[in-house]
Structure 1
Amino acid sequence: MDSRTLWIQTEQSGRYLFSDEHPFHPVRLALTENLLKHCGALDPAAGERPASFEETEAIIEHIHRADYVKAVRSLSVESPKLAAIADAGRFGLEADGDTPYFPGMHEAAVAVAAGSIAAAEAVMSGKADRALHLAGGLHHAFPDRASGFCVYNDAAAAISVLRERYQARVLYIDTDVHHGDGVQWFFYTDPNVFTLSIHETGKFLFPGSGFTHERGDSSGYGACLNLAMEPYTEDDSWLTCFSEAIERAALAFKPDIIVSQHGCDAHAFDPLAHIHCSMSIYREMPRLLQALAERHTGGKWVALGGGGYDHWRVVPRAWSLLWLEMVRHPLLASIDAAPDGGPLPAGWPDIKTTMSPDGPLPTTWLDDVASWEPMPRRAEITEKNKKMLELALQHIG
């Protein structure tokens, strides 16, 4: 295993919980850590602690609008005032919305950002070559409002640190099935932050953005690339578009560091989207990003978590494969040698939780796609994605 890779502790971020019924649930983190411990690949207690609360809060106040942060604070108490509740909808925090306010929300969202900032600092300062913060990746938050389960934008906070403290050129790569809109709009006019997002097309999926004509603005024109994939896209088409796009972007942009977001909701089992990929893309994308970092940034790579709503069957395997790649774990040799990736460790999971899976858990690292029903219109979908890629890459040198 590679000792130059840091795990950022997620214990404090576990407080980021809307409710036990909400799809964005920290049980995903517990299951992933449990799987990695069963593999002998992780000691979470030995990981890097997040940045200080005070330092992170100052950064949040710098990148988010003052009235928004004030509203988040007001709604984070046990019994918010009626005036704060009445104003919650203006900031995307209404009680019946997708990002409802909850007690301790401000502190929990700051804790998430603290982990991502610690990861960025560790890599850019030379303390580590790579760092992973799985509680991060809240990519939908805007400067002035919450959106899509995201209160504060930890990815934007980490990138702002990389820009302002180190003057680093940052290549941000978002693999969540939902467009990384918040991060894109934070840096839409910044020529030193290149945002690349691969996602299901906004024609059919939240947040309804991320089209190929979104290419940046003003001096940031050309530093934004969106791959809007067709519903029911499968592994080969997804990976073909992804691999060509990230290489073209890195060659043209010449980054100092890569920051990647690893929502794992493009899997066929995910209940909130329509992409039909298997676990294979979650083995291949980290491998491609590792190689990209080696070629273009001297290995500097910060990885964050993100979405993923099949908590038991998909997220733990996908995020574990990401960590195994980042540390170059010897287990990968056996995973790569078996068509199904080989067996998951015996006894997993054994966490204490009131949550339970809806059905049988997978027993292997990868999926048996031969048993899946073939997608109709496969050739048509692949051709549409190919044409989309050609259009998206027109402005990339």
Structure 2
Amino acid sequence: MTGSALLIHHDKAMNYHFHDSHPFHPLRLRLTLDLLAEAGALAPTAMLTSRPATEEELLQVHQPAYIEAVKALSTNPGPDWLERAGQYGLDDDDTPFFPGMHEAAAYVAGGSITACEEVMSGRCDHALHLGGGLHHALSAKAAGFCVYNDVSVAIAYVRQRYKARVLYIDTDVHHGDGVQWSFYSDPEVCTYSIHETGKYLFPGTGFVQERGEHQGYGACVNIPLQPYTEDASWMECFEQSIRRLTEYFKPDLIISQHGCDAHALDPLSHMQCSMAIYNEMPAIIHSLAHTYCSGRWVAVGGGGYDIWRVVPRAWSLLWLEMTDHPLKRSLKQHPRTRLPQTWIERWQEQSSVSLPAEWLDDLTHWEGIPRRAEITAKNRESLAVALQDFPEI
């Protein structure tokens, strides 16, 4: 299973930076790109510089008044705009406005559009835009660290320009609510999200009864998982659901969001997964893209807040899968493969935690969850309800 791949990036997307103590830190991107370079897995010829989204493209998803507010709050806002910032979700601890916000967010959205354009035009089979995945932004409100919803903007671009059927796969631990609501009535965009249940985690949505509406009913699938779900149950629910859904929907393009905050070390969720799911899950998506979409696959980043021990490895494993890199294949025979020592030495002084030595987690020292059987059973119940309208393969 092969296919050409491009990594989409622009340095101006690194300016999407609320403040140094904010958990959504652009250093995640630099750490990942450096790890790939040190592993010999990212040639300069595989990288493509993106462009910013135009206002017309942003308007396909976001309301004019909201874009005006983002622009105004990006450059020395006056008292009137400071008073109105809360109306647009830009005054809280999660998503505070910051200088240069509009330009940085436009470059994030433009990166996801660029990735889609490269794939849909046939210039490559797969494209990865790690700066993207801001899936919580709504049409007229910022939320959950997200200002412009780059994924929704990119899907709208694909629908308008190519009339393609799009399957959106969201593996972030938080429900992909913004993308879901953007296309809740559209039968040509299927949104799928596997996440920790909204009973206990932001944004409080993503339940199995959220199925779409009007003509889009049935083109929305949610797999809410119990807190402390481990690898085996996560992978069981993901693989069974996504294979059945893709066979049923038969998309022209897969766009997947790869927040890696379901890992046990992530500070903003309650899941108990390891690096294993970030090694195995992209391979399933890769296979489905070649089976149903002639290889057309765009992947974006997303959440992930252990930026030292989790994000660089998870996102690097995604790129290794997209490029069918020999290192990814060798992990099957040699799961204790070590990370490049040069990368560890370069970043260890800046990290407040000990950097991992290996690509995959050593699970021999992990303690199992006492309620494993109960958690697995509840996850299977949710899976059965979510899939009740889809025929078995």
- TM-score over 0.5 for the alignment? yes
CA-CA distance at 1:62 after TM superposition: 2.8
Q: Given that residues 9 and 44 in structure 1 are in contact (C-alpha distance below 8 angstroms), is that contact kept between their aligned partners in structure 2? A: no
Instruction: Extract unaligned runs of 5+ from structure 2.
Output: none
Greater shift, 24-33 or 62-71, is seen at: 62-71
CA-to-aligned-CA distance 1:108-165 (integer Å, 9 cap, x gap): 0000001000000010111110000000000000001000000000000110111010
CA–CA separation in structure 2 for the residues paired with 1:235 and 1:3: 28
Q: Does 1:83 align with 2:77?
A: no
2:70 to 48, 69, 72: 72
The 5-angstrom pairing of residues 360-379 of structure 1 reads 360-379=354-373
Deviation at 1:46, TM superposition (A): 5.0
Q: 1:211-239 CA distances to partner (integer Å, 9 max, x unpaired)?
A: 00000000000000000000000001000
Tell me what 1:150 maps to: 146
1:352, CA displacement in angstroms? 7.7
- Alignment: residue pair count: 391
Does the 8 A contact of 2:136 with 2:149 survive in 1? yes
User: 1:69-88 deviations in whole A, cap 9, x for unaligned?
Assistant: 111011000x2111101000
**Amino acid across the alignment from 2:159:** R
Tell me, in whole angstroms, the C-alpha distance in 2 between the residues paired with 1:151 and 1:266: 22
2:249 maps to 253
Q: CA contact under 8 A between 1:235 and 1:278: conserved in structure 2? A: yes
In the TM superposition, structure 1's runs of 4+ consecutive aligned residues that sit over 3 Å from their partners are 43-46, 349-353
SS at match of 2:194: strand
Q: Which residue of 1 aligns with 2:122?
A: 126
- Partners of 2:193 and 2:95 in 1: CA distance: 22
The 5 A counterparts of 1:87-102 are 87-94=84-91, 96-102=92-98
Question: Whole-Å Cα distance in 1 between the matches of residues 60 and 176 of structure 2?
Answer: 21
Change (3 A) 1:339 1:350: closer
Residue pairs, 1:1-397, within 5 angstroms: 4-44=4-44, 47-51=47-51, 53=52, 56-77=54-75, 79-94=76-91, 96-340=92-336, 342-349=337-344, 356-397=350-391
Q: TM-score scaled by structure 1? A: 0.96
- CA-atom RMSD in angstroms: 1.5
The answer as to whether partners of 1:170 and 1:256 remain within 8 angstroms in 2 is yes
CA distance in 2, matches of 1:65, 1:45: 37
Q: What's the offset of the Cα at 1:351?
A: 5.7
Runs of 5+ unmatched residues, structure 1: none
The alpha-carbon deviation at position 45 of structure 1 amounts to: 7.0
Q: Secondary structure at the match of 1:63?
A: coil
Structure-2 separation of matches of 1:349 and 1:123: 34
Amino acid at match of 1:218: H
SS in 1 for 2:342: coil
Sequence identity (%): 57
In structure 2, C-alpha distance between the alignment counterparts of 1:2 and 1:58, rounded to whole Å: 35
Classify 1:257/1:46 alpha carbon distance in 2 versus 1 (closer, same or farther; 3 Å). Answer: closer
Distance between the aligned counterparts of 1:158 and 1:44, measured in 2? 25
* 2-structure distance, mates of 1:261, 1:303: 6
Contact preservation (8 Å) 1:31, 1:349? no
* Deviation readout 1:24-81 (Å, 9 max, x if unpaired): 0000000000100001111357511213x3x53320123200111111011000x211
Give me the whole-angstrom Cα distance separating, in 2, the residues matched to 1:49 and 1:290: 23
Task: Report the 3-state secondary structure (helix = DSSP H, G, I; strand = E; otherwise coil) of the residue aligned with 2:379.
Answer: helix
CA shift at 1:336, angstroms?
1.7
SS in structure 2 of the partner of residue 395 of structure 1:
coil
> Which amino acid counterpart does residue 309 of structure 2 have in structure 1?
R
Task: Say if 2:136 and 2:179, in contact at 8 Å, map to a contact too.
Answer: yes
Q: Shift in Å at residue 10 of structure 1? A: 3.5
TM-score (norm 2): 0.97
User: Partners in 1 of 2:56 and 2:2 — Cα distance?
Assistant: 33
